[in-house]
Amino acid sequence: MTKIELTVDGAAVSDDVEPRMLLVQYLREKLGKTGTVIGCDTSNCGACTVHLDGTSVKSCNVLAVQANGRTVTTIEGLADTAEGELHPVQESFRECHGLQCGFCTPGMIMQAVDLLGENPNPTEEEVRLGMEGNLCRCTGYHNIVKSVLHAAEGAKA
């Protein structure tokens, strides 16, 4: 077992974990943060996307021990949901109906937040390229792209 100390969604946490434990397992099974989901388990689909020190990563492709001393933000920590708040990108996905079954949505939103942080005013093509690591099996992506562009518009207003 290896001791890790990190910050997850604003709270300091510390645990003894097996080195082989994946970050996504740690978040879901140890911390109960099941908002981050496992889609493909092959680092293709992006459903497990979280932010590690502020940039998007696929949490099925990071060991929990690699997050030692770092800061993780999951879909559950984007906004103060206990207060009924949504992050503007979450709001935009609701507004534009950027989902059908919703399974890919946590990862889509985390990647969209990263994308807009780096490029606040993307073209449609830049959104499609920037979201290439996230797969959706329902929507055909149209409303997802619309949601990201809508969020960018909203941030300008």
Partner 1 sequence: MIPVQFDYLAPTSVEEALSALGQHGDDAKILAGGQSLLPVLRMRLNAPEVVIDLGGIASLRGIRDDGDAIVIGAMTTHHDVRDHALVKEHALLLSKAAAEVADSQIRHRGTFGGALAHADPAGDLGAPALALGAQFVIAGAGGTRTVEASDFFVDLFETAIGEDEILTEVRVPKHTGWGAHYEKFVRVAHQWPIVAIAATVKGSIDEARVGLTNMGSTPLRATATEQALAGATATGDGVRAAAELAAEGTNPPSDLNGAADYRQHLARVLTGRAVLKAAGV
* Distance between CA atoms of residues 104 and 111, nearest Å: 11
Strand order in the sheet with 11-17: 11-17, 2-8, 71-73, 49-52, 55-58
44 near partner 1 (CB under 8 A): yes
79 near partner 1 (CB under 8 A): no
- Binding mask 86-125 toward partner 1 (x if CB under 8 A, else -) reads -------------------------x--xx----------
Q: Which of 8, 22, 37, 109 binds partner 1 (CB under 8 A)?
A: 22
CB nearer to partner 1: pick between 99 and 115: 115
Residue 111 Cβ vs partner 1, minimum distance, rounded to whole Å: 7
* Distance between CA atoms of residues 50 and 154, nearest Å: 23
- Secondary structure (DSSP) of 64-96: GGGGTTSEEE-GGGSS-GGGT---HHHHHHHHT
Residue 129 Cβ vs partner 1, minimum distance, rounded to whole Å: 8
Token reading at 135: 């797969």
* Distance between CA atoms of residues 141 and 148, nearest Å: 11
63 near partner 1 (CB under 8 A): yes
* Distance between CA atoms of residues 61 and 85, nearest Å: 30
71 near partner 1 (CB under 8 A): no
The binding site for partner 1 (CB under 8 A) comprises 2, 18-22, 25, 41-44, 46, 49, 52, 55-58, 60-63, 65-66, 68, 111, 114-115, 130, 132-134
